[in-house]
Structure 1
Amino acid sequence: MPPVPEDLLVGLRRARDRIDRHYAQPLDLDALAATAGLSKYHFLRCFARTYGRTPHAYLTERRVERAQDLLRATDLTVTEVCRLVGYESLGSFSARFRRLVGTSPSAYQARWSAAGAPRIPGCFVLMHGLSDRDRAIAEKPRQGLGPGQSSP
Protein backbone atom coordinates (compact mmCIF):
# COMPACT_ATOMS: atom_id res chain seq x y z
CA MET A 1 0.00 0.00 0.00
CA PRO A 2 1.46 3.41 -0.93
CA PRO A 3 2.10 5.91 1.87
CA VAL A 4 -0.35 8.71 2.56
CA PRO A 5 0.58 11.89 0.64
CA GLU A 6 2.32 14.41 2.88
CA ASP A 7 -0.22 17.15 2.17
CA LEU A 8 -2.90 15.03 3.92
CA LEU A 9 -0.87 14.45 7.09
CA VAL A 10 -1.65 17.89 8.55
CA GLY A 11 -5.38 17.21 8.37
CA LEU A 12 -4.95 13.71 9.79
CA ARG A 13 -2.93 15.12 12.71
CA ARG A 14 -5.63 17.72 13.29
CA ALA A 15 -8.28 14.97 13.47
CA ARG A 16 -6.12 12.84 15.78
CA ASP A 17 -5.58 15.86 18.04
CA ARG A 18 -9.33 16.42 18.13
CA ILE A 19 -9.79 12.83 19.30
CA ASP A 20 -7.09 13.33 21.96
CA ARG A 21 -8.69 16.53 23.27
CA HIS A 22 -12.37 15.61 23.03
CA TYR A 23 -12.39 11.85 23.61
CA ALA A 24 -15.04 12.16 26.33
CA GLN A 25 -17.51 13.72 23.89
CA PRO A 26 -19.42 11.92 21.16
CA LEU A 27 -17.29 12.00 18.00
CA ASP A 28 -18.51 10.76 14.65
CA LEU A 29 -16.64 9.87 11.50
CA ASP A 30 -18.22 12.72 9.49
CA ALA A 31 -17.03 15.36 11.97
CA LEU A 32 -13.51 13.93 12.14
CA ALA A 33 -13.30 13.70 8.35
CA ALA A 34 -14.44 17.33 8.10
CA THR A 35 -11.69 18.29 10.56
CA ALA A 36 -9.17 16.61 8.26
CA GLY A 37 -10.76 18.12 5.15
CA LEU A 38 -11.44 14.72 3.56
CA SER A 39 -14.41 12.57 2.64
CA LYS A 40 -15.21 10.14 5.43
CA TYR A 41 -14.15 7.00 3.55
CA HIS A 42 -10.91 8.50 2.31
CA PHE A 43 -10.25 9.81 5.81
CA LEU A 44 -10.91 6.37 7.29
CA ARG A 45 -8.44 4.70 4.90
CA CYS A 46 -5.76 7.37 5.32
CA PHE A 47 -6.07 7.45 9.13
CA ALA A 48 -5.79 3.67 9.39
CA ARG A 49 -2.81 3.60 7.02
CA THR A 50 -1.03 6.40 8.89
CA TYR A 51 -1.73 5.43 12.53
CA GLY A 52 -2.21 1.67 12.19
CA ARG A 53 -5.77 1.68 13.55
CA THR A 54 -9.15 3.11 12.65
CA PRO A 55 -10.32 6.37 14.24
CA HIS A 56 -12.80 4.38 16.35
CA ALA A 57 -10.07 2.06 17.65
CA TYR A 58 -7.85 5.07 18.39
CA LEU A 59 -10.71 6.77 20.28
CA THR A 60 -11.40 3.60 22.26
CA GLU A 61 -7.74 3.34 23.25
CA ARG A 62 -7.67 6.96 24.44
CA ARG A 63 -10.82 6.46 26.52
CA VAL A 64 -9.49 3.28 28.12
CA GLU A 65 -6.11 4.91 28.85
CA ARG A 66 -7.85 7.79 30.63
CA ALA A 67 -10.08 5.33 32.49
CA GLN A 68 -6.98 3.49 33.70
CA ASP A 69 -5.59 6.77 35.03
CA LEU A 70 -8.83 7.56 36.87
CA LEU A 71 -9.24 4.05 38.27
CA ARG A 72 -5.63 4.05 39.54
CA ALA A 73 -5.55 7.52 41.05
CA THR A 74 -9.07 8.27 42.30
CA ASP A 75 -11.74 6.70 44.42
CA LEU A 76 -14.42 7.18 41.75
CA THR A 77 -16.69 4.23 41.04
CA VAL A 78 -16.36 2.31 37.80
CA THR A 79 -19.70 3.75 36.68
CA GLU A 80 -18.50 7.31 37.31
CA VAL A 81 -15.29 6.65 35.38
CA CYS A 82 -17.30 5.08 32.57
CA ARG A 83 -19.35 8.27 32.18
CA LEU A 84 -16.36 10.61 32.54
CA VAL A 85 -14.47 9.01 29.68
CA GLY A 86 -17.43 9.19 27.29
CA TYR A 87 -19.29 5.89 27.56
CA GLU A 88 -23.02 5.76 28.16
CA SER A 89 -23.14 1.99 28.65
CA LEU A 90 -21.31 0.36 31.52
CA GLY A 91 -21.43 -2.98 29.71
CA SER A 92 -19.77 -1.59 26.58
CA PHE A 93 -17.15 0.19 28.65
CA SER A 94 -16.36 -2.92 30.70
CA ALA A 95 -16.12 -5.14 27.61
CA ARG A 96 -13.77 -2.77 25.80
CA PHE A 97 -11.70 -2.21 28.94
CA ARG A 98 -11.34 -5.96 29.47
CA ARG A 99 -10.43 -6.52 25.80
CA LEU A 100 -7.66 -3.88 25.88
CA VAL A 101 -6.34 -4.24 29.44
CA GLY A 102 -6.99 -7.94 30.08
CA THR A 103 -8.98 -7.47 33.27
CA SER A 104 -12.27 -5.90 34.32
CA PRO A 105 -12.31 -2.25 35.44
CA SER A 106 -13.29 -3.20 38.99
CA ALA A 107 -10.49 -5.81 39.25
CA TYR A 108 -8.02 -3.26 37.84
CA GLN A 109 -9.13 -0.70 40.42
CA ALA A 110 -8.99 -3.24 43.26
CA ARG A 111 -5.45 -4.26 42.29
CA TRP A 112 -4.27 -0.64 42.52
CA SER A 113 -6.19 -0.04 45.76
CA ALA A 114 -4.49 -3.05 47.32
CA ALA A 115 -1.10 -1.61 46.33
CA GLY A 116 -1.77 1.29 48.70
CA ALA A 117 -1.32 4.00 46.10
CA PRO A 118 -2.52 7.45 47.26
CA ARG A 119 -6.00 8.16 45.94
CA ILE A 120 -7.54 11.48 44.93
CA PRO A 121 -11.07 11.77 46.33
CA GLY A 122 -13.65 11.60 43.54
CA CYS A 123 -15.45 14.65 44.89
CA PHE A 124 -12.24 16.65 44.40
CA VAL A 125 -11.92 15.44 40.81
CA LEU A 126 -15.52 16.36 40.03
CA MET A 127 -15.61 19.61 42.00
CA HIS A 128 -12.36 21.05 40.65
CA GLY A 129 -12.91 20.14 37.03
CA LEU A 130 -10.16 17.57 36.71
CA SER A 131 -12.38 15.41 34.55
CA ASP A 132 -12.00 16.18 30.87
CA ARG A 133 -15.75 15.99 30.25
CA ASP A 134 -16.44 18.73 32.82
CA ARG A 135 -13.65 20.87 31.37
CA ALA A 136 -15.03 20.53 27.83
CA ILE A 137 -18.50 21.54 28.99
CA ALA A 138 -17.12 24.55 30.89
CA GLU A 139 -15.08 25.68 27.87
CA LYS A 140 -18.01 25.45 25.47
CA PRO A 141 -19.13 29.01 24.62
CA ARG A 142 -22.65 29.98 25.57
CA GLN A 143 -24.86 30.31 22.52
CA GLY A 144 -27.08 33.33 22.02
CA LEU A 145 -25.63 35.55 24.74
CA GLY A 146 -24.28 38.93 23.86
CA PRO A 147 -21.66 40.96 25.72
CA GLY A 148 -22.66 41.71 29.28
CA GLN A 149 -25.56 39.23 29.26
CA SER A 150 -25.77 36.28 31.58
CA SER A 151 -27.77 33.11 31.44
CA PRO A 152 -31.19 33.06 33.16
Structure 2
Amino acid sequence: MPHRNDDALEDPARLRRLLRAKDCMDAASHEAWPVSRLAEVSGVSEAHFARSFKRAFGIPPHRYLLTRRIEQATTLLRDTDLAITEIAFATGWESLGTFGRIFHDITGRSPGAMRSEARADVTALERVPACVLKAAQRPDLTIAVLEKRRRVEKDKVPPSTKEAT
Protein backbone atom coordinates (compact mmCIF):
# COMPACT_ATOMS: atom_id res chain seq x y z
CA MET A 1 0.00 0.00 0.00
CA PRO A 2 1.56 3.33 -1.04
CA HIS A 3 2.27 5.88 1.64
CA ARG A 4 -0.02 8.92 1.52
CA ASN A 5 2.96 11.24 0.93
CA ASP A 6 3.77 9.33 -2.29
CA ASP A 7 0.66 10.68 -3.99
CA ALA A 8 1.75 13.77 -5.91
CA LEU A 9 -1.83 14.56 -6.82
CA GLU A 10 -2.72 15.18 -3.15
CA ASP A 11 0.21 17.55 -2.55
CA PRO A 12 0.06 20.81 -4.58
CA ALA A 13 3.72 21.61 -3.88
CA ARG A 14 4.81 18.19 -5.15
CA LEU A 15 2.63 18.57 -8.24
CA ARG A 16 4.18 21.99 -8.94
CA ARG A 17 7.63 20.39 -8.81
CA LEU A 18 6.52 17.72 -11.30
CA LEU A 19 5.09 20.43 -13.54
CA ARG A 20 8.41 22.27 -13.36
CA ALA A 21 10.17 19.17 -14.74
CA LYS A 22 7.48 18.74 -17.41
CA ASP A 23 7.87 22.40 -18.41
CA CYS A 24 11.64 21.94 -18.71
CA MET A 25 11.10 18.99 -21.07
CA ASP A 26 8.61 21.06 -23.09
CA ALA A 27 10.98 24.03 -23.36
CA ALA A 28 14.04 21.96 -24.29
CA SER A 29 12.81 18.62 -25.63
CA HIS A 30 15.91 18.42 -27.83
CA GLU A 31 18.07 18.06 -24.71
CA ALA A 32 18.80 14.84 -22.83
CA TRP A 33 16.42 14.47 -19.88
CA PRO A 34 17.44 11.40 -17.88
CA VAL A 35 15.37 10.70 -14.78
CA SER A 36 18.29 11.86 -12.62
CA ARG A 37 18.17 15.34 -14.19
CA LEU A 38 14.38 15.54 -13.95
CA ALA A 39 14.46 14.42 -10.32
CA GLU A 40 17.02 17.12 -9.57
CA VAL A 41 14.78 19.78 -11.18
CA SER A 42 11.89 18.49 -9.07
CA GLY A 43 13.89 18.20 -5.87
CA VAL A 44 12.96 14.56 -5.24
CA SER A 45 14.64 11.16 -5.55
CA GLU A 46 14.79 9.45 -8.95
CA ALA A 47 12.48 6.61 -7.92
CA HIS A 48 9.99 8.99 -6.39
CA PHE A 49 10.08 11.25 -9.45
CA ALA A 50 9.47 8.44 -11.96
CA ARG A 51 6.62 6.98 -9.92
CA SER A 52 5.01 10.37 -9.22
CA PHE A 53 5.32 11.59 -12.81
CA LYS A 54 3.58 8.50 -14.18
CA ARG A 55 0.84 8.77 -11.57
CA ALA A 56 0.30 12.49 -12.24
CA PHE A 57 0.45 12.49 -16.06
CA GLY A 58 -0.44 8.93 -17.04
CA ILE A 59 2.79 8.08 -18.87
CA PRO A 60 6.43 7.71 -17.82
CA PRO A 61 8.71 10.73 -18.34
CA HIS A 62 10.64 9.11 -21.21
CA ARG A 63 7.44 8.52 -23.19
CA TYR A 64 6.33 12.08 -22.51
CA LEU A 65 9.65 13.34 -23.92
CA LEU A 66 9.28 11.09 -26.99
CA THR A 67 5.82 12.56 -27.56
CA ARG A 68 7.19 16.08 -27.52
CA ARG A 69 10.06 15.22 -29.86
CA ILE A 70 7.77 13.53 -32.37
CA GLU A 71 5.32 16.47 -32.23
CA GLN A 72 8.14 18.92 -32.89
CA ALA A 73 9.57 16.78 -35.70
CA THR A 74 6.12 16.50 -37.31
CA THR A 75 5.75 20.28 -37.23
CA LEU A 76 9.18 20.79 -38.77
CA LEU A 77 8.48 18.20 -41.48
CA ARG A 78 5.21 19.92 -42.32
CA ASP A 79 6.26 23.57 -42.04
CA THR A 80 9.92 23.75 -43.10
CA ASP A 81 12.23 22.63 -45.86
CA LEU A 82 14.87 21.39 -43.42
CA ALA A 83 16.47 18.09 -44.36
CA ILE A 84 15.18 15.10 -42.38
CA THR A 85 18.67 14.65 -40.92
CA GLU A 86 18.65 18.25 -39.65
CA ILE A 87 15.20 17.71 -38.14
CA ALA A 88 16.35 14.54 -36.40
CA PHE A 89 19.28 16.28 -34.72
CA ALA A 90 17.31 19.49 -34.00
CA THR A 91 14.68 17.49 -32.11
CA GLY A 92 17.16 15.64 -29.91
CA TRP A 93 17.90 12.38 -31.68
CA GLU A 94 21.48 11.15 -31.70
CA SER A 95 21.18 9.27 -35.00
CA LEU A 96 19.06 9.45 -38.10
CA GLY A 97 18.40 5.70 -37.96
CA THR A 98 17.00 5.84 -34.44
CA PHE A 99 14.87 8.86 -35.32
CA GLY A 100 13.45 7.18 -38.42
CA ARG A 101 12.71 3.89 -36.65
CA ILE A 102 11.07 5.47 -33.58
CA PHE A 103 9.17 8.00 -35.72
CA HIS A 104 7.77 5.17 -37.85
CA ASP A 105 6.96 3.03 -34.79
CA ILE A 106 4.98 5.87 -33.23
CA THR A 107 3.28 7.47 -36.26
CA GLY A 108 3.06 4.49 -38.61
CA ARG A 109 4.84 6.50 -41.34
CA SER A 110 8.41 7.36 -42.19
CA PRO A 111 9.45 11.00 -41.78
CA GLY A 112 9.56 11.38 -45.58
CA ALA A 113 6.07 9.91 -46.00
CA MET A 114 4.77 12.16 -43.22
CA ARG A 115 6.22 15.20 -44.99
CA SER A 116 4.69 14.19 -48.32
CA GLU A 117 1.26 13.58 -46.78
CA ALA A 118 1.34 16.82 -44.82
CA ARG A 119 2.20 18.83 -47.90
CA ALA A 120 -0.50 17.13 -49.96
CA ASP A 121 -3.09 18.06 -47.31
CA VAL A 122 -1.79 21.60 -46.78
CA THR A 123 -4.79 23.44 -48.26
CA ALA A 124 -7.29 21.73 -45.96
CA LEU A 125 -5.04 22.07 -42.93
CA GLU A 126 -4.37 25.79 -43.44
CA ARG A 127 -7.83 26.52 -42.05
CA VAL A 128 -7.29 24.53 -38.83
CA PRO A 129 -5.73 26.41 -35.89
CA ALA A 130 -2.22 25.18 -35.12
CA CYS A 131 -3.08 24.23 -31.52
CA VAL A 132 -5.97 22.02 -32.69
CA LEU A 133 -3.84 20.43 -35.39
CA LYS A 134 -1.04 19.71 -32.93
CA ALA A 135 -3.43 18.10 -30.44
CA ALA A 136 -5.02 15.96 -33.16
CA GLN A 137 -1.64 14.79 -34.41
CA ARG A 138 -0.20 14.08 -30.93
CA PRO A 139 1.33 10.61 -30.92
CA ASP A 140 -0.29 8.02 -28.68
CA LEU A 141 2.33 6.63 -26.34
CA THR A 142 0.12 4.90 -23.81
CA ILE A 143 2.14 1.75 -24.49
CA ALA A 144 5.91 1.48 -24.79
CA VAL A 145 7.42 1.76 -28.27
CA LEU A 146 8.93 -1.73 -28.02
CA GLU A 147 5.55 -3.17 -27.04
CA LYS A 148 3.89 -1.37 -29.96
CA ARG A 149 6.55 -2.67 -32.36
CA ARG A 150 6.19 -6.19 -30.95
CA ARG A 151 2.43 -6.13 -31.45
CA VAL A 152 2.79 -4.89 -35.02
CA GLU A 153 5.45 -7.46 -35.87
CA LYS A 154 3.50 -10.26 -34.19
CA ASP A 155 6.10 -10.92 -31.49
CA LYS A 156 9.09 -11.12 -33.86
CA VAL A 157 10.98 -8.73 -31.56
CA PRO A 158 11.63 -10.34 -28.17
CA PRO A 159 10.92 -8.08 -25.20
CA SER A 160 14.06 -6.40 -23.89
CA THR A 161 12.44 -4.99 -20.80
CA LYS A 162 9.46 -5.76 -18.66
CA GLU A 163 7.16 -2.80 -18.09
CA ALA A 164 5.72 -2.45 -14.63
CA THR A 165 2.02 -1.77 -14.49
Say yes or no: TM over 0.5: yes
Q: Give the structure 2 partner of residue 61 of structure 1.
A: 67
Q: Does 1:47 align with 2:53?
A: yes
Q: Sort the Cα spacing of 1:116 and 1:48 in 2 relative to 1 into closer, same or farther, 3 A.
A: closer
Q: Give the structure 2 partner of residue 101 of structure 1.
A: 107
Instruction: For 1:1-152, list aligned pairs within 5 A.
Output: 3-4=7-8, 5-6=10-11, 7-115=13-121
Q: Deviations over 1:48-85 (max 9, x none)?
A: 01101111100000000000000001111111100110
Q: 1:116 deviation in Å? A: 5.3
Match of 1:88, SS state, is coil
* CA distance in structure 2 between the partners assigned to 1:13 and 1:114 by the alignment: 37
Q: Which amino acid aligns with 2:51?
A: R
* CA distance in structure 2 between the partners assigned to 1:68 and 1:100 by the alignment: 11
Task: For structure 1, list consecutive stretches of 5 or more residues without a partner in the other structure.
Answer: 118-152
Question: TM (normalized to structure 2)?
Answer: 0.66
Aligned pairs, number: 117
* CA distance in structure 1 between the partners assigned to 2:35 and 2:44 by the alignment: 11
Q: Give the structure 2 partner of residue 149 of structure 1.
A: none
Q: 1:95 deviation in Å? A: 1.7
Question: TM (normalized to structure 1)?
Answer: 0.72
Match of 2:82, SS state, is coil
Q: Deviations over 1:84-108 (max 9, x none)?
A: 1010111111122112211111100
Match of 2:98, SS state, is helix
> Aligned-pair RMSD on alpha carbons?
1.6
Match of 2:93, SS state, is coil
* CA distance in structure 1 between the partners assigned to 2:122 and 2:25 by the alignment: 33
* CA distance in structure 1 between the partners assigned to 2:42 and 2:69 by the alignment: 21
Q: Percent identity?
A: 38
